[in-house]
Structure 1
Amino acid sequence: MVLEFYTKLKEVLLQEERLILLVVIANEGSSPGRMGFKMLVTKSQMFGTIGGGIMEHKLVEYAQTLLDKPAFEPFVKKQIHDKSAFKDQSGMICSGQQTIAFYDCDLAFLPVIEKIVTQNNDFIFYTDKNIEINEVKNAACYFKESIGLVQKLYIVGGGHVGLALSEVLSKLDFEIHILDHRDNLNTMNANRFAHFRETVDFEQIENHIPDGDSVYVVIMSFGYRTDDIILRRLVNKNFKYIGMLGSKEKIATLFKNMIADSFDENQLSKVYAPIGVAIKSETAYEIAISVATQLISVKNRN
């Protein structure tokens, strides 16, 4: 999550020369935004999330107004998810609270980003003065973030099962990416559990999911046609795990057609399909638990 986020931040900063970086530096209770969640905001672009909902919408608009003003020093805003709170109400009612740090980033921030994305640094320190690498100098530290290997989960399909799986795995050590090709999908907009949400073209899905031994891919798109497009473009990539939701009959037909089109049968045999463990799951949450169990098993396998 860290390296990918800062790679994107570098790209956007080079384009727009100034942006606002929002970082969740603390959270308590049932807060939708957890420590380490990040979001970049410009007048025309957003990336990442600080928890979604009306709170995120409100703070994005606020961050955009800051871009019309002179440069500012870092500051924090507390958001309490309780409408009975005397102040700092977020507009959400899920209880808990979170604190977000605001950083004004211009081109002078590029050397720090470069260190994050190109060097094997251990930690990023978010302070009341700036963002520093590996040590804090003359500043109070808000939050210390490790730049280590993380398990990256790409859920291709932002429907109800994708939402449920995001919620289940948000309690575990996965960096969650949710991808769909449909604009303004309600279940995507409601997904406050994923670290990254993105609308993409499934015909180019391979460009949005990197190879890697810590990368897990779950295909659960809208139907057979899109599943077919996605699997054909991903099956030959190197992942720790790739699985697909669907009935045995659908998967058998899909595999048969791919083999007829010269796809490698041995490569297809590596796809977990039907996805999940056999617990006779029916509801979205039961399916999510089934899939999560399989992912944990693969992750912990020596």
Structure 2
Amino acid sequence: MQQAGKLREFLESNDPVASLRLTRVRGSSPRTTGTEMYVRADALWGTIGGGQLEHRAIDAARELLRAGNLSAHLDLPLGPAIGQCCGGRVEIAVTRMSTSDKEHAHAEALRYDAALPEVYILGAGHVGRALAELFQHLPVRAVLVDQREDELEQCGAEVEKRLSAIPEIDIMNAPSQSAFIVLTHDHGLDFLLASAALQRNDAAYVGLIGSATKRAKFASWARTHCGGLSVDSLICPIGAGGSRDKRPAVIAAQVVAEVITALTSETAADHPARGTVSHIAAQ
């Protein structure tokens, strides 16, 4: 989900733009300090948490733009007084954006895009394409990899489609803390790619489509062909959320939840490759 280009289009409108930034959060709140959204008279970008908090802040931003003012400050309790029950309190800086403010916001969006975790979908079959459809809306850089051009062409999602004769090289060249989902058209290739991902020892997630039987066969193969490679960190079956529904879209939904959980765990969040630009992440 690349945001910088779309944000630039939003900010370069002829209409004035206001920034809403959470400058202080006390107690429970739907978003954290630093979260930011942008407001025009006719459009919005991002969110600071929704509900009455956001509605009141948007109204204040649009009033500031109408009046031609430069800044304002809001201090809102997140309780019954505004129809919310979080129980905390937030302070919001409302600012009419200058040209330099917009340039800075765009630069932050570029930094955010560059720091997005990468998710490699290794196989462009039915489930692979269903995964791409979902990941295109999430704060990751999804790469759909296949040796078959005709399968890649069937994917309409806004993700990178990579025709690769040797997908193992794509795995080798991926950044640290990437996620790898292996679901090719060939079990032998599945084994090669899953072992390549596990041998990196720095993946945030390695998943292999299949059953418990396939996992056992892969474990035996890995011991024989990969110097006793451990498969303890391998997720197989993938998306094992308890559902017996085998439709690609349902499997994909379960796997996406699994991968995002792995990418946003406390361990993953401490990694420098994780983006921290929360106002972009909300879009």
TM-score (norm 2): 0.53
Instruction: Please identify which structure carries the higher helix content.
Output: 2
Unaligned runs of 5+ in 1: 3-22, 28-134
Q: Which residue of 2 aligns with 1:287?
A: 251
SS at match of 1:218: strand
Structure 1 counterpart of 2:147, from 155, 169, 181? 181
Q: 1:297 deviation in Å?
A: 1.8
The within-5 A match list for 1:32-181 is: 144=106, 145-148=109-112, 149-181=115-147
Taking only the aligned residue pairs, the percentage that are identical comes to 17
Q: Which residue of 2 aligns with 1:233?
A: 196
Q: Which residue of 1 aligns with 2:275?
A: none
Contact kept, 8 Å, 1:205 with 1:230, in 2: the verdict is: no
Q: Does 1:190 align with 2:190?
A: no
User: Which deviations, in whole Å up to 9, do the C-alpha atoms of 1:3-34 show, x marking residues without a partner?
Assistant: xxxxxxxxxxxxxxxxxxxx66549xxxxxxx
Relative contact order: is structure 1 or structure 2 higher (C-alpha 8 Å, sep ≥ 6)?
2
Q: Which residue of 2 aligns with 1:219?
A: 182
Change (3 A) 1:296 1:232: closer
Q: 1 CA distance for matches of 2:158 and 2:211? A: 26
Amino acid aligned to 1:277: A
User: Which deviations, in whole Å up to 9, do the C-alpha atoms of 1:130-162 show, x marking residues without a partner?
Assistant: xxxxx978xx97x92331321211100011111
Contact kept, 8 Å, 1:202 with 1:226, in 2: the verdict is: no
Q: Does 1:297 align with 2:281?
A: no
Amino acid aligned to 1:271: L
Change (3 A) 1:194 1:239: farther
Q: Which residue of 2 aligns with 1:263?
A: 227
Instruction: Please identify which structure carries the higher strand content.
Output: 1
Contact kept, 8 Å, 2:171 with 2:196, in 1: the verdict is: no
Q: 2 CA distance for matches of 1:179 and 1:204? A: 10
Change (3 A) 1:230 1:194: farther
Amino acid aligned to 1:244: L
Contact kept, 8 Å, 1:206 with 1:234, in 2: the verdict is: no
Change (3 A) 1:289 1:263: farther
User: Which deviations, in whole Å up to 9, do the C-alpha atoms of 1:142-192 show, x marking residues without a partner?
Assistant: x9233132121110001111111111222221111100011232xx22323
Q: Does 1:201 align with 2:165?
A: yes
Change (3 A) 1:209 1:193: farther
Q: 2 CA distance for matches of 1:272 and 1:246? A: 10
TM-score (norm 1): 0.50
Q: 1:227 deviation in Å?
A: 0.3
Aligned length: 171
SS at match of 2:193: helix
Contact kept, 8 Å, 2:142 with 2:160, in 1: the verdict is: yes
Contact kept, 8 Å, 1:281 with 1:287, in 2: the verdict is: yes
Q: 1:265 deviation in Å?
A: 4.3
Change (3 A) 1:236 1:146: same
Change (3 A) 1:261 1:190: closer
Amino acid aligned to 1:299: L
Contact kept, 8 Å, 1:281 with 1:290, in 2: the verdict is: no
Q: 2 CA distance for matches of 1:161 and 1:207? A: 19
Contact kept, 8 Å, 1:206 with 1:233, in 2: the verdict is: no
Q: 2 CA distance for matches of 1:208 and 1:184? A: 24
Amino acid aligned to 2:174: P
Q: 1 CA distance for matches of 2:223 and 2:157? A: 37
